[in-house]
Amino acid sequence: MKKLLVILAALLCLNVSAFAEETAAQAPEAPAAEEAAPAQEPADKGLFMKSLTDGDDNIIAEAYMDELPDDSELIYDAEGSDDGMWTLDIEGVANIRIFISQCMLKNAAGVSLADVQGENLQQLTDMATVDYDDPVVEILTTPSGNQYMHIYERDEELRSVCTMFTLYKGAVIELVQFNDDFSPLTEHDHEVMEDVLYSIWIYEVK
């Protein structure tokens, strides 16, 4: 089960770079009228989490969480990941682990999840669901305009782990939820995790 908690970071770091570069090379330039407007930056961005850098270590974006849920604590685990891992401990709710990995930036710095389409998207989905028996895969969009993939078991009795992740500027941002005893997650757990997902914002550094 420990492997499941980090499988996306490992698989994506090893396998996504090649088809992410291919996707970026093949994707036509979108007309200006179709481009999404950038999120307006608030004066107080909230809780700083991590800077995202390009292949030359220039900061290109920053990740923030605008607010913590009630009765919660966000704990940074310096030893849990080379790139960054946090545990969000919320009273009465299953654990939420947040991973931010930059292992692909030198190979796919210009690619986001929204850029991955067709066969490449299917390949990414296959990798992300490899340890699920009967997965449900949803593509969600946060208020900041970032697309996330949401993965969980169709059978509620087997739904002991839930995953949400995105590929942004070549970095992987992943949320994993589970109980200490890996008992099934509840609808309330899901709702809280979705709220946490929507509280994470990515701001480009100009």
**C-beta separation of 40 from 56 below 8 A:** no
- Report CA-CA distances (Å) from 166 to 70, 111, 117, 187: 25, 11, 14, 22
Q: pLDDT averaged over the chain?
A: 75
Give the separation between CA 197 and CA 170, rounded to whole angstroms: 19
Q: Where are the domains of the chain?
A: 2-27+65-204
Most confident of 4-13, 86-95, 171-180: 86-95
**C-beta separation of 179 from 190 below 8 A:** no
66-71 CB contacts, 8 Å cutoff, 24+ apart: 66/42, 66/199, 66/201, 67/199, 69/93, 69/192, 69/195, 69/196
pTM of the model: 0.76
| pLDDT at res. 134 | 94
CA-closest candidate to residue 99, choices 83, 75, 78, 113: 83
Q: Does 86 or 25 have the greater pLDDT score? A: 86
| Average pLDDT of the segment spanning 123-140 | 88
CA-closest candidate to residue 167, choices 96, 107, 111: 111
pLDDT in tens, 40-77: 555 567 888 888 777 677 887 888 888 888 889 988 87
pLDDT in tens, 138-176: 998 887 777 889 999 999 889 999 999 887 766 778 899
Fold of 2-27+65-204: Protein Transport Mog1p; Chain A (3.40.1000)
**C-beta separation of 184 from 160 below 8 A:** yes
